[in-house]
Amino acid sequence: MEKIVVVNHKMHLSYDEMLKYIDDTRDMKDDFIVCPSSLYLPYFVKAGYAVCAQNVYAYNNGAYTGEISPLQVKSLGCDYVMIGHSERRDIFSEDDGLINEKVKCCLDNGLKVIFCVGESLKDMDNYKDVIFKQISLGLDGIDGDIYISYEPVWAIGSGITPTKERLEEIVSYIKSLRDVPVLYGGSVNSHNIALLNEISSLSGFLVGTSGLDVLELRRIIEVVK
Ligand code: PGA
């Protein structure tokens, strides 16, 4: 199976920068899945990209000021939703129960879920406990179209990545809990992608910072595809 590249824009890009990004990446649009700010989802859908929302709420509609719903995202033409990113867990205090409800609502709407897990620096030696809890509670009662993205918190935006051996061990642990495609995210860039790409148990990569730099993204895609 060909590996996938998912690009998480987080809360970056002004309106003009977003339009320029579309111009600059249009020729690669079939080679990656883009997770833009929710404001820009329709622009990427209209331009023909595979689009993933960075977050949704757990219900299709209702009095939830400021939230966006799985139904809205699906009706717009998005195919994917990312749930459980560590920034949502840590900064916005999302717990495993809420994450589980979100995943269920997304799957009910026919969205594919990119479910993020990963341990913080203090839990590095304990990664099994953390990942076991995140998967057993977050995916409780769920059997659907899911990717798991392993993103150790200490690797996100830090320039540091796990060793190949550690990644292989953790991917195999994740697969022993859930036999679904596993992605890796955390400081993926044009320099480390060749080594990361050698890990045959990985089904792709989730790229943050480097995905905003079009030249970096082009280099990453050249290695993966
Ligand atoms: P990074 O972000 O590539 O900047 O480390 C990855 C992510 O948080 O999805």
Per-residue pLDDT reduced to its tens digit, 31-81: 999 999 999 999 999 999 999 999 999 999 999 999 999 999 999 999 999
Residue 50: CB within 6 Å of ligand 1? no
Q: Measured in whole angstroms, how far is the alpha carbon of residue 158 from the centre of its chain?
A: 17
Residue with CA closest to ligand 1 atom 7: 208
- pLDDT given for residue 145 in this prediction: 85
pLDDT along the chain (225 residues), means of 10: 94 98 98 98 98 98 97 98 97 97 98 97 95 97 94 94 96 97 97 97 97 98 96
Query: 175 exposed, middle or buried (CB, 10 Å; 0-12, 13-18, 19+)?
Result: middle
- Using alpha carbons, select from 36, 84, 21, 38 the residue that is nearest to residue 58: 84
- pLDDT given for residue 2 in this prediction: 85
To test the ligand 1 pocket, which listed residue (187, 191, 216) has its Cβ within 8 A of the most ligand atoms?
187
Residue with CA closest to ligand 1 atom 2: 208
To test the ligand 1 pocket, which listed residue (8, 82, 90) has its Cβ within 8 A of the most ligand atoms?
8
Instruction: Indicate yes or no: pTM above 0.85.
Output: yes
Which ligand 1 atom sits closest to the C-alpha of 86?
A: 8
Which ligand 1 atom sits closest to the C-alpha of 116?
A: 9
- pLDDT given for residue 17 in this prediction: 98
Q: How close is the Cα of 154 to the center of ligand 1, in Å?
A: 10
User: What end-to-end distance do the CA atoms of the chain give, in Å?
Assistant: 11
Active-site amino acid positions: 85, 151
Which ligand 1 atom sits closest to the C-alpha of 155?
A: 5
Q: How close is the Cα of 63 to the center of ligand 1, in Å?
A: 32
Residue 7: CB within 6 Å of ligand 1? no
DSSP state letter for 115 = E
Which ligand 1 atom sits closest to the C-alpha of 209?
A: 4
- Using alpha carbons, select from 121, 103, 128 the residue that is nearest to residue 113: 103
- DSSP run (H or E) holding 204: strand 204-207
Residues 186, 156 contacting (CB under 8 angstroms):
yes
Residue 84: CB within 6 Å of ligand 1? no
Q: How close is the Cα of 70 to the center of ligand 1, in Å?
A: 23
